[in-house]
Structure 1
Amino acid sequence: MPKPFTPVPRTAAADPLPDDGEDFLEGPVQSQRTGSAVSPSTIACLVLSIAVSVYLSVSVVPRFQPRVHDDPNQFGASLARFERRLSKLESDAGVLTHHQQSIGLLQGEAEQRLKKLEVLLTEVQTAHRGGKADQSDTAWTDPDYASYEANGRVVGHSDLYPRRGDPWLLPSRDGDWFLFSLPYVQGIPSLVASAVKKAFPVHPKASVWLLSAPSNGIELPGHCLPLNGSTGYVDVKLRRAIRLKSFSVEHIPRVSAFNITTAPKDMALYSLRGDQDGFEPRKLASFSYDIESTPVQTFPVLQGGESADDLVVSQLRLQVNSNHGSESYTCLYRLKIYGDPE
Structure 2
Amino acid sequence: MLNTVSFVLTTALLAPAAPAAADPVRTAAQETVSAGATGVQIRAVRDGHTRTATAGVSELDSRKPVSPTGRFRIGSTTKSFVATVVLQLVAEHRIELDTPVERYLPGLLPRGEEITVRMLLQHTSGLYNYLRSISLAGADLEKVRYQHFSPESLVAIATARPLEFPPGSRFSYSNTNYVVLGMLVERATGHAWGEEVTRRILRPLGMHQTSVPGDRTRIPGRHAHGYQEMNGKLADISELNPSVAGASGEMISTTVDLDKFVQALAAGRLVPPALLGQMTTPRSATEEYGLGLQIRTTPCGIPVFGHTGGIPGYGTIAFTSADGKRRVEASLTMGRGPGDDAYYSLIDKVICA
| Higher-RCO chain (CA-CA 8 Å, sequence separation at least 6) | 2
Q: Rg bigger for which structure?
A: 1
Per the normalisation by structure 1, the TM-score is 0.23
Per the normalisation by structure 2, the TM-score is 0.23
Bigger share in strand: 1
